Chains A and B, each alone.
Chain A
Amino acid sequence: MKNVEDTNSQDILSEKKSYIKSITNSKFLMTLIRHNKHNRKGVVDVQFNWIFVMIAGFVIFLFIISIALSQKHNAENQMSIDVMNQITTLLNGKQQTPNMYSEISFTRADVVFTCDPSFNLFSFKIANAQPIMLPVDMIFAPKQVNTNKLLVWSQPFTLGFPVGVFTYVTTPDAIILIYNKSATSTYANELFTDLNITSNISHEYMTDENDYSNFARRTIVCFNDDANPPSNSCPIAQNYDYIKISPAAPASSSVTSLFDYGTVTFHKKGSTNADKSSPYITKAGLYGAIFSNSNDFYKCQMSRALTQFEIKRELMQTRMILIQNDLPDESDCRVTINETLESEIMSMQNPVLSPIDITNLYTQSNQLDIKNTYLALYSCPKLY
């Protein structure tokens, strides 16, 4: 009986033990599971924090980079605007002061000069900045240059009375090569001497073009000159770009001067198209053709110049009519002014860049000079 009781009590004990053991085990397991869960949560937390930090850092990094880039862009734009303002001031200043030479330096950039013939508008821009319009300035320049310095020179454009000022823009790496192979061209000497006196622009008599390879832009100027045999007047057409100047002989005079009027021909080597020609008038006009070195650009600027000429002519005509009306009927001054109005001023109306109109402008402007001197001699009000 006692044995049976012992056995029972042992069984209960072992059952209790196994129960306790199982409970202990499950508790341990639970703890383990909980621990694992906790650990995983911690790992996820840590990973999320890192991802958050990385994303935030990347966004901040992008923000700083974008600020730096926009600052750089703004600084470049500001610099372009500053340079463009400086150039504008210089070019505008030249419009009021003929026979002036000046230079402007800036950080190397592409400078583009544009003349739009359909709107008669001139503009220039630096690099990718917005172009600046110069609606009244008559500027002759190459279409595009990459430079850190511009040389600016000006000449008065006068057709009897002052019309305006032509401004010429070039770069230090440009040279005017005057072709004078037989050394007999009077026009070549005339141009060389004038450039010597009036400007600091690089110019030489052309011997061999290769001697000037340190100049990026070389403008060869040659002449249709009776003193030169035709074979010597210009370089070999297949090898060179050049500008051929053919001064005209005024009907009233046997002597032709280079700076009166004539025709300029722009020759491009290797071009299948025929050479383009345009008439020129006065020294200012001739230099316009040489400095622009492009028939289209030259024609566009000359067309703008002739538009301005028409406005100035109209002003002059109105002034003369007003003076004429205030003069006594029988006065000599009135007769001369009336004559000038009818024969010169009226006939110069609305000129275009054609050989006929240019010849007429040259003749009438010379007559105006004569009449002006006459009026001054007879104590009449001068024309200009």
Chain B
Amino acid sequence: MIYHNQKNNKSRIRGQVQLGETTAVIIIVIILLIIGIVFWNKISGSNVRGIQTQSQELQVIDIANSVSELTELKCSEEGTSPVKCLDWYKILAMAEVINNTDNKTAFMFYNNYFKNSKITVVSIYPEEKENITLYDAHLANATSLLISIPVHIEDYLKKETSYGLIIVEGYYNG
């Protein structure tokens, strides 16, 4: 009788040990899975952030290139110079129309080109004129990437050529 009781106890203990082992294995596997998922998420998240920053920087470069190519700003006669030529009165007209607070149609339209940026035209030589802000998305609390493109500025009325810069500040959440 005692022998049988001992045997039963042994088998129960063995069963309990087996159940414990199984539970432990399952718990360990779950913990490993959770660690794996967290790790994977962190890695893919940092990759996505990297790609996002890169694409935002590329976007700023793209905006800078497109500004100097706009027919709304370009000179009537393009020379052979590799430096882009902008018409002074077209710059003034565009600044006035885009920054018109009563009619936002032009601002909304050029927002598709200039997105989250600030575009300023600066005349440097022979004389420094006041900076003209063509477009400003007015984004606070954002980092910015600044790109300058050298340009000729043609004044067809005074028949003067000056040299200046288009400064594109691209805002993004870095």
Contact = CB atoms under 8 A, between A and B. Distances in A.
Interface of A: 34, 96, 135-136, 162, 308, 310-312, 314-316, 318-319, 322-323, 326-327, 381-382, 384
A135 B112 contact: yes
Contacts of B39: none
A279 B45 CA distance: 52
A215 B144 CA distance: 51
B156 A381 contact: yes
Interface in B105-157: 105-106, 109, 112-113, 156-157
B11 to A, nearest CB: 8
A327 B157 CA distance: 8
A162 B70 CA distance: 11
Contact of A314 (B66, B106, B113): B106
Nearest to B90: A319
Contacts of A381: 89, 156-157
Nearest to A164: B71
Interface in B64-116: 66, 69, 71-72, 76, 87, 89-90, 92-94, 96-97, 105-106, 109, 112-113
A43 to B, nearest CB: 15
Nearest to A314: B97
A136 B90 contact: no
A322 B71 contact: no
A322 B109 contact: no
Contacts of A323: 89, 156-157
B109 A318 contact: no
A351 to B, nearest CB: 15
Given A311-B105, A382-B156, A318 B93 contact: yes
A315 B71 contact: no
Interface of B: 4, 66, 69, 71-72, 76, 87, 89-90, 92-94, 96-97, 105-106, 109, 112-113, 156-157
A382 B76 contact: yes
Nearest to A162: B71
A315 B72 contact: yes
B93 A96 contact: no
Contacts of A135: 112
Contact of A315 (B90, B112, B113): B90
A136 B109 contact: yes
A323 B94 CA distance: 13
Given A135-B112, A136-B109, A315 B93 contact: yes
A384 B76 CA distance: 6
Nearest to B70: A96
Contacts of A312: 72
Contacts of A162: 71
A318 B97 contact: yes
A311 B72 CA distance: 10
B40 to A, nearest CB: 12
A311 B111 CA distance: 13
Given A34-B4, A136-B113, A322 B93 contact: yes
A326 B157 CA distance: 8
A323 B155 CA distance: 10
11 contacts: A135-B112, A315-B97, A316-B93, A318-B97, A322-B89, A322-B92, A322-B93, A323-B89, A327-B157, A381-B89, A382-B156
Given A381-B157, A382-B76, 15 more contacts: A96-B69, A136-B109, A311-B106, A314-B97, A315-B90, A315-B93, A315-B97, A316-B93, A319-B87, A322-B89, A322-B92, A326-B157, A327-B157, A381-B89, A384-B76
Nearest to A41: B11
Contacts of B89: 319, 322-323, 381
A319 B76 contact: no
Contacts of A310: 105
A384 B74 CA distance: 9
A131 B66 CA distance: 24
A322 B119 CA distance: 21
A318 B156 contact: no
Nearest to B154: A381
